[in-house]
Amino acid sequence: MLQKLSSRLYLALAIIAVLLLTGCATQTAHNPNNYGTRSNDVKAIDNTIASEVERALKRADRRLAQARIKAHAFNGEVLLVGQVPSEELKSTATQITQDIRGVSKVHNELAIAATLPAAQRLTDSWITTNVVSQLATNNRIDSSKIEVTTENASVYLMGIVARSEADMIVNEVSTVRGVQRIVKVFDYLD
């Protein structure tokens, strides 16, 4: 009972935060001195959205609860990665995610496949760490504006960038050993 109440309170607070701070998500792109950089409030909202998406998917269907799905949010756009057993569940995941308050767009990159083995998930973590390090050491790229996640050696890049920056970022990421595919989930300024 206490856990159910706590869960409802958390959800209510998350919804209130989203309602109060919805304007913050779009203001970062309009400030030329600050474009692409999210405020701490927007990051918190994105974290809440990602958590709520994962909870909603698990509650909606027992098969989704057993699948491996990770949600990542950036300025209200949600990226779904992982594995599900059928196209039906992939579509269901998109619909459920679209219905979450604060979600502006869904990028469904779920694979119709068995869950990845632990060794591949560890390799993915290693690749993500190397990509983040590679971007951070390039003085022409502001890596603080980019979110990186890796799933089955595919690297997903989220952020608000100019197209020229996106090309530079992709070129840099392509030099990291183990990267098999790069998916741009950017909002473009131009």
Closest CA to 178 of 152, 157, 156, 153: 153
Which pTM value belongs to this model? 0.80
pLDDT at 179: 98
Find the distance separating the first CA and the last CA of the chain, reported in whole Å.
50
pLDDT at 186: 96
pLDDT at 63: 95
pLDDT at 11 over 80: no
pLDDT digits (tens, 9 = 90+) for 68-119: 999 999 999 999 999 999 999 999 999 999 999 999 999 999 999 999 999 9
The answer to whether domain 2-112 and domain 118-188 are alike in fold is yes
The more confident residue out of 29 and 189 is 189
Mean pLDDT of the 136-165 span: 95
When mean pLDDT is compared across 1-15, 123-137, 175-189, the lowest value belongs to 1-15
* Class of residue 95 by CB neighbours under 10 A (exposed 0-12, middle 13-18, buried 19+): exposed
Q: In the beta sheet, which residues pair with residue 181?
A: 154
The domain defined by 118-188 folds into: Histidine-containing Protein; Chain: A; (3.30.1340)
The more confident residue out of 115 and 6 is 115
Q: Where are the beta strands (DSSP E) in the chain?
A: 68-74, 77-84, 105-112, 146-151, 154-161, 181-188
Average pLDDT of the chain? Answer: 88
Structure tokens at 118: 């632990």
Residue that has been written with the tokens 């692409």 in this structure: 36
Q: In the beta sheet, which residues pair with residue 54?
A: none
Closest CA to 96 of 150, 54, 141: 54
Distance in angstroms (rounded) separating the CA atoms of residues 120 and 67: 16
pLDDT at 44: 94
Mean pLDDT of the 43-54 span: 96
**pLDDT grade, residue 16 (50/70/90)?**
low
Distance in angstroms (rounded) separating the CA atoms of residues 79 and 94: 10
pLDDT at 53: 98
| CA distances in angstroms from 35 to 42, 93, 157, 163, listed in the order given | 13, 31, 16, 13
pLDDT at 17 over 60: no
Beta strands 154-161 and 181-188 are: parallel
pLDDT at 123 over 80: yes
pLDDT at 147 over 80: yes
Cβ neighbors of 26 (< 8 A, separation 6 or more) are 75
Q: 2-112 belongs to which CATH class?
A: alpha beta
pLDDT at 27: 38
| CA distances in angstroms from 112 to 50, 91, 115, listed in the order given | 21, 11, 9
Domain ranges within the chain, ordered by starting residue: 2-112, 118-188
Edge-first strand order for the sheet with 77-84 is 68-74, 77-84, 105-112
Helix (H) or strand (E) holding 169: helix 163-173
